Amino acid sequence: MKVKLLTAVLASALLATAPSVTLAQTRPAAATAQPSAAGRTVLDASTRIINALQTRRAEFRANPAALRSFIDGELSRGFDRDYAARLVLGVHGRGAADADVKLFADAMADNLMSRYGSALLDIQGRPSFRYKSEQPLPGNRGVKVSTELVRAGSEPTPVEYLMRNVDGQWKIFDVMIEGISYVQTFKNQFDAPLRQKSIKQVATELRSGSIQANAGPAAPRGK
């Protein structure tokens, strides 16, 4: 389930502006503060994406290229993909050319969508995102927007978006589902390949499919 949730959130947000279906009923004003511009960006995006996935399901199933084009547009619109890629690369990305980082970011997104894209169309019912709270990130790096993914018959799933302001626009650079970080998951996964190969080589292997991006939780190093 976490694989499908992570893929859905990445596509919907992205991971920042996310899916489009009807927003869940918000809690009383006394319990929930009103979202800021960053929080509103998350809710609007989530709603837009979920709605499109539901209303265009038949079209997307028949035409995977249309689904990919839609997700690419959402990612470009609300997800700071290159910055997230630098965080995933970590020490391996220090001093790396922007072109190589972009190559890695695009290759990882392509690999994920080729493997998990169809899972976005398998979301049942009418899920929605409910705003909970916001708090500033350390070092004035941006804000963390806390939400819940609400689905009929299931307990709400905590989803947190880490966002930063880029030229006046709030963009997501990490998503945490039940405490599991998108950035940390892939940072753990790609550490070993990047110790042995260049960023460009790893990106090329991601493109070819010889290395697969695994959207499931990564085990901590050393375990």
Q: Rounded to whole angstroms, how far apart are CA atoms 161 and 42?
A: 8
**Across the 223 residues of the chain, what is the mean pLDDT of every consecutive 10-residue run?**
48 36 35 79 84 89 90 84 94 96 90 75 75 93 91 84 93 88 90 96 92 61 39
CA angle, 160 then 27 then 150, to 5°: 50
**CA-based Rg of the chain, rounded to a whole angstrom?**
17
pLDDT attached to residue 109:
83
pLDDT attached to residue 34:
81
pLDDT attached to residue 177:
86
Q: Rounded to whole angstroms, how far apart are CA atoms 177 and 18?
A: 14
Encode 204-215: b = buried (16+ Cβ within 10 Å), e = exposed: bbbbeeebebeb
Q: Which amino acid is at 89?
A: L
From 198, 173, 192, 193, select the one nearest 183 (Cα to Cα): 173
Encode 96-127: b = buried (16+ Cβ within 10 Å), e = exposed: beeebbebbbbbbbbbbbbbbbebbbebeeeb
